[in-house]
Amino acid sequence: MDYPDFSLSGQVALVTGASQGIGHDLALALAHAGARVAVAARQVGLLERLCAEIAAEGGEAAAVEMDLRDRGSIEAAVAATVERFGRLDVLVNNAGLGTNHDALDATEAEWDDLFAVNVRGLFFACQSAGRRMVGQRYGRIVNMSSQAGLVGIRRHAAYTSSKAAVIGLTKVLALEWGPYGVTVNCVAPTFIRTPGTAERLDQPEFLADVLQRIPVGRVGSTTDVAGAVLYLASPSAGLVTGSVLTVDGGWTAQ
């Protein structure tokens, strides 16, 4: 039999929102798996330390500027990645925005901002990368959704709506691009401990409420998310497309 292959040796990956948190760690994990990695953010200067970390471990990385609110910026970042590395095999759409307040307090600006980045920008990143992947008849696109895209989360109306839209979009792209060897999937994490979530997760009452909803009894780590992304990005996930891989400790099983 053929054994599973989770190596990304020789492949080129582009990670959006890579300047901090989950995106930073995903880039490191992809590089550790053998990929040459383009890391993207609005401020390229914030990516210097990440590129240095990857180089220190023997990997190869390049920083590219990308503003998901600007379609031209998205296309330029993808083009720069292909120019630097010669191809693009993996796109990880990690960049995103969130909010946390009652639906009665939601504003038009909030909805516009979240959908501009979480849905519109994500789509055009998929489209730009997809053109290259369809042409080379191989590609892996991993979109970052959330458990909030599958179940309602109080005080997250705009965020939940945007992440549900990501799941629907992922399924459509999987249908259209599957015949060309391009898979498109989602990862849907629960609360992940990062510098950005520490403020809430360090509140005992908030943490207790979260943990009582997670059967395995803990919040997630960036390593948990990286494992899911690496699988979906690997050659072994060739028959997996249009899927949502929940990394939620059982939250959405209830």
Task: Give the C-alpha separation, 142 to 58, whole Å.
Answer: 25
| Separation in Å, CA 61 to CA 6, 189, 208 | 20, 26, 39
Check if the beta carbon of residue 95 is closer than 8 Å to that of residue 22.
no
Q: Which residue has the tokens 């989770």?
A: 6
Tokens of 241: 């497309």
Radius of gyration in angstroms for the set of CA atoms belonging to the chain, rounded to a whole number? 17
- Alpha helices by DSSP H, listed for the chain, are 21-32, 48-56, 71-85, 108-115, 122-136, 157-177, 198-201, 204-211, 222-233
Count of other CB atoms within 10 angstroms of residue 228: 19
Report the amino acid identity of residue 26.
L
Strand ranges of the sheet holding 90-93, from the earlier edge strand across to the other edge: 61-65, 36-41, 12-15, 90-93, 139-144, 182-189, 244-247
Q: Read off the DSSP letter of residue 151.
A: S
DSSP codes of every residue in 79-114: HHHHHHHS---EEEE-------S-GGG--HHHHHHH
Please identify which of the residues 3, 138, 159, 231 carries the catalytic annotation: 159
Whether 159 sits among the annotated catalytic residues: the reply is yes
Give me the active site residues, please.
159
